[in-house]
Amino acid sequence: MGYTNYWHQKRSFTDDEWKELTEEYDYLKDGGRIEPYDENPDQIAFNAKGNGCETFVLNKNLDDYFKSEHMGSYYKEKYEKDGYHFDFCKTRMFSYDIDVWHMLRLARAAAPETIIHISRDR
């Protein structure tokens, strides 16, 4: 059994919204709990340092979720049907869970028209 965080993303983030999120992400990187993956400036991606579970990934551009060869067409069909992209990150309540939830809370507050719903197994 795992502990999971969930979110619904309705549209891409604006430049101003994304700037606010990436500034906070830079702050979290200094906290020492996360291992960042910084290859893409239009993506926030990290896992726990040492003992993690799933990698948290938040994309600035909604279409980036649909580019995956593995699940991209499925995600695109679901988005067109539901009107939002559903995503999740299983953390098993490891140390980085608070960082995942922090990013989701900030995203919801900074961009309520983008992140329309967040929840977690708690």
> Is the separation of the CB atoms in 28 and 99 below 8 Å?
yes
Structure confidence by residue, pLDDT tens digits, 84-117: 999 999 999 999 999 999 999 999 999 999 999 9
- The domain tally of the chain equals 1
Separation between Cα atoms, residue 49 and residue 55, nearest integer Å: 11
Residue 33, domain extent: 4-120
Separation between Cα atoms, residue 29 and residue 92, nearest integer Å: 20
**Which positions ≥6 away from 30 have C-beta within 8 Å?**
none
Structure confidence by residue, pLDDT tens digits, 22-70: 999 999 999 989 999 878 999 999 999 988 899 999 999 999 989 877 7
pTM of the model: 0.92
One-letter amino acid for residue 8 of the chain: H
Question: What interhelical angle do 97-110 and 15-29 show, nearest 10?
Answer: 160
Separation between Cα atoms, residue 89 and residue 78, nearest integer Å: 18
